[in-house]
Amino acid sequence: MSTKTVALKLSRDIKRMILVNAIFLTLFVPIALLSVKGFKDLSTISIIALWGLAMSVGNFFFVQTYLTRRTESDLKTSFDSIHHQFALDDLTGVYTRRAGMARLREELARSRRHGRTLSLAMADIDKFKDINDTYGHLAGDKVIQHVAQSLKAQLRECDLVIRFGGEEFLIVMPDTNEHQTVQPLDRIRHRLSFSTTEFKNQSIRCSISIGVATVFPVETDIIDAISRADQALYCAKQFGRNRVVHKDQMKHCQPIMPVHA
């Protein structure tokens, strides 16, 4: 249920309460007074009825112009906060796989609508198991954070970074093709290979391998495009890691896909 739907439902419920209140103030109270033996002051009853009607109208406008709008604003803030919490990965601050895939489908629909390509890149931290075995899993988490933040900081604002797996990231780059993505991704890869993650007075170096694929406007199955990016990533691993690979380089890659290392 959307924020607007919830707010409208709440607004209708409040207005029903106001209507009941108006009926009580303008009809029930005067009728009750008339039923009191000896009470025949019609002018007083009329004043009470008019006062009740005025109070009801005042309540209506108060709810309409203030309470409903404030409630809608508060609900929107709450919904946005909840969405933010579920959409972003706790460790890295980038999109979770579920939320990221939803955003990817939105970008794919937009690219089809405008007849443009978009690029996908699958990035994986090289020899991540060795980092965990050598420095521990908490150090591994710090390395994942460092890589995610580096990707997010150095890409365009319109690009999406998704934590696709444990140490694997899916990057969505709208309005680009494979060749246009290689240079910025290679620049990020190069900088990461010379940076360090500090953990308990230890400087941990890491590198990433990246596979790139283009998604064309005619494509409807995003899974095929992700698979192509994943195949290119496997090739980057086979070629020695710490590099960016795209389709034109994959003819030299072995068809058997090794496990990420």
pLDDT lower than 70: segments of the chain: 1-42, 44-85, 254-261
How do residues 172-223 score in pLDDT, each as one tens digit? 999 998 889 999 999 999 999 999 999 999 999 999 999 999 998 888 888 9
In this prediction, residue 217 carries a pLDDT of 85
Q: According to the model, what pLDDT value does residue 178 have?
A: 84
Contact (Cβ atoms closer than 8 angstroms) between residue 217 and residue 115: yes
- Give me 258's structure tokens: 């090794």
The pLDDT, as a whole number, for residue 261 is 44
Which residues, 6 or more positions from 46, have their beta carbon under 8 angstroms from its beta carbon?
30
b/e for 21-58, b at 16 or more Cβ within 10 A? ebeebbeeebeebeeeeeeeeeeebeebbeebeeebee
Catalytic positions: 167
Assessment of whether the complete model's pTM goes beyond 0.85: no
Contact 210, 197 (CB under 8 A): no
Question: Is the separation of the CB atoms in 229 and 170 below 8 Å?
Answer: yes
Separation CA 256–CA 261 (nearest Å) = 15
Residue 205 has a pLDDT of 94
pLDDT attached to residue 86: 73
DSSP characters for 3-40?
HHHHHHHHHHHHHHHHHHHHHIIIIIHHHHHHHSTT--
| E strand or H helix at 205 | strand 202-205
* DSSP three-state, residue 38: coil
